[in-house]
Structure 1
Amino acid sequence: MDVLYFKLNGIVKQFLGDKWDLGLLISKTLGYAIITGSLILKVPQILKIVSNKSAESISIASIVLESIGFTITLLVNQMLGYPFSTYGESFFILIQSIILLVLVLKYSKKLNSLFYIGSIVYLAASFSIYKFANPYHLSLLQALNIPLFMISKLPQISAILKNKSVGQLSFITCFLNFGGSLARVFTTLKEVNDPVILTSYLIGSFLNGVILVLFFLYWNKKTPTARIVSKEKQK
């Protein structure tokens, strides 16, 4: 096995240069695969909500907190000059999360003035961070992202447990979330070596795994509202 590794490593260095090795090649490939996958990560979830005109069992708080977390990830990594392959998916997931948030608010009948005020505050805060944040501020934001991503998953987990149903959650989106966060652990170890960012991805992987397990436990089980509607149709 070691002989095969050294041979492959030699081939990589021969074609790509001494700065490269097999691990870095795998990391770069994984990184861009994650970014490619992120282009459609939440599309199945978006299509499911639009198709059913329902956002049952989908937590608004989770989407908001996750969007803030991805915004911080995008800003911090870009400002610290980390390779795009280690964080690029944050941009595409953020856009889809915002679309998802609007849809969930719309079908939950909660798309009101508070959303527009919050959007203005969000844009102003993002611009201020990008223009004025120094390395100390960035380190604080990195540290903030750990509990933020952790807390962002808890309302969704709570909603599933409360309803005993996954509602309109998409399995494909949940699975890609889990696989992507696991792969990010490897790319962070190989290319960034930042313990704060690594911790964030480790916690994210664990909580995405919990949601995936709950998906299998409550697959095809209807929410309380759906059960009532179903009974009324049978009368």
Structure 2
Amino acid sequence: MDPWKEFLLKYYMPEKCYDEFFHNFNFLHVPCQTIVLSKILGIWIMLGTVVVKLPQIYKVFKAKSAMGLSFTSTLLELFAITGSMVFCISHNFPIGAWGETLFIVIQTLTIGFLIQHFGGNTIKGVGFIIGYCSLLSLLLSPLTPRSVVTSMQSSNMFAVIMGQLVQAVTNYLNGHTGQLSAVSVFLLFFGSLARIFTSAQQETGDSLMTLTCIIASCCNAIIAGQVLCYWNRGPSVKEKVE
């Protein structure tokens, strides 16, 4: 087989679409256009997720402060991401449906530790990481009933909503977004929009995951709006001293 054709068939399109595009020259075939676009977005989502929270981690490290970041919001976000990842793995979904969540888990775990560390609770931060890794191992083991994993996935929507709302309320009460990274916020927002399309078009066929992505996009939009509204605002002198 031609290496170029093999590459396209493996990553971007089924053979019927290859024939439509390169044998029939029917580049306006809508179903195949949708498939290819979904595949491309899926790959870009995975690539983008590798770095999506690195700007946030960098900003916290540079400032040596996690002011404005809610640990409760981080926990809820970690719960939602973990539930989705474990659900996909337990149901043998293709890696394209969940691969990026692994990178988000690692980065979110790092942010959770940094919040504790720069808050003067390094030991608590280490315990947080150890506790999470132990729980994840248990969830992925045969000891955990599938019903438990399904329940976690079912509660994702609530965790996503509450996690983002907690951060939004924190921003509102502070009157600024603190060390919240605008780059990470907008990457998450646009990534969640793209994930709506990919989850609806292919990979899982799971309507709950699609609905979760829609809710996540709406919540991310609230945080993104706050970043714009509070763009030139920072912590007061009193907050900086504290």
TM-score by length of 1: 0.84
- Find the partner of 2:216 among 204, 211, 226: 204
State the AA in 1 paired with 2:232: N
- Corresponding position of 1:3: none
Does 1:106 pair with 2:91?
Answer: no
Give me the whole-angstrom Cα distance separating, in 2, the residues matched to 1:9 and 1:98: 45
- Corresponding position of 1:148: 159
> Would you say the 8 A contact 2:113–2:126 is kept in 1?
no
CA shift, 1:122, in A, is 2.6
CA shift, 1:141, in A, is 2.0
- Corresponding position of 1:11: 21
- Structure 2 unmatched runs, 5+: 1-16, 26-30
Does 1:96 pair with 2:107?
Answer: yes
State the AA in 2 paired with 1:105: Q
Give me the whole-angstrom Cα distance separating, in 1, the residues matched to 2:158 and 2:89: 21
Instruction: Note closer, same or farther for the CA distance 1:30–1:112 as it changes in structure 2 (3 Å cut).
Output: same
> Would you say the 8 A contact 2:109–2:129 is kept in 1?
no
Give me the whole-angstrom Cα distance separating, in 2, the residues matched to 1:48 and 1:226: 21
Q: Show the 5 A alignment for 1:126-205.
A: 126-132=136-142, 133-191=144-202, 192-205=204-217
Instruction: Note closer, same or farther for the CA distance 1:12–1:69 as it changes in structure 2 (3 Å cut).
Output: farther
- Find the partner of 1:55 among 66, 76, 82: 66
Give me the whole-angstrom Cα distance separating, in 1, the residues matched to 2:62 and 2:107: 17
Q: Please provide the CA RMSD for this pair.
A: 2.4
Give me the whole-angstrom Cα distance separating, in 1, the residues matched to 2:239 and 2:141: 51
Cα deviations by residue, 1:193-234 (Å, 9 ceiling, x for unpaired):
2121111111100000000001111112012356665xxxxx
Does 1:218 pair with 2:233?
Answer: no
Give me the whole-angstrom Cα distance separating, in 2, the residues matched to 1:227 and 1:28: 46
Give me the whole-angstrom Cα distance separating, in 1, the residues matched to 2:23 and 2:105: 36
Does 1:78 pair with 2:95?
Answer: no
- Structure 1 unmatched runs, 5+: 1-6, 230-235
Q: Secondary structure at the match of 2:133?
A: helix
Q: Secondary structure at the match of 1:112?
A: helix
Instruction: Note closer, same or farther for the CA distance 1:218–1:176 as it changes in structure 2 (3 Å cut).
Output: same
Instruction: Note closer, same or farther for the CA distance 1:121–1:227 as it changes in structure 2 (3 Å cut).
Output: closer
Does 1:31 pair with 2:42?
Answer: yes
Identity among equivalent pairs (%): 27
Cα deviations by residue, 1:99-131 (Å, 9 ceiling, x for unpaired):
111111111113334x44444443333222212
**Greater helix share, 1 or 2?**
1
TM-score by length of 2: 0.82
CA shift, 1:83, in A, is 2.1
Instruction: Note closer, same or farther for the CA distance 1:25–1:147 as it changes in structure 2 (3 Å cut).
Output: same
Give me the whole-angstrom Cα distance separating, in 2, the residues matched to 1:24 and 1:70: 25
> Would you say the 8 A contact 1:146–1:200 is kept in 2?
yes
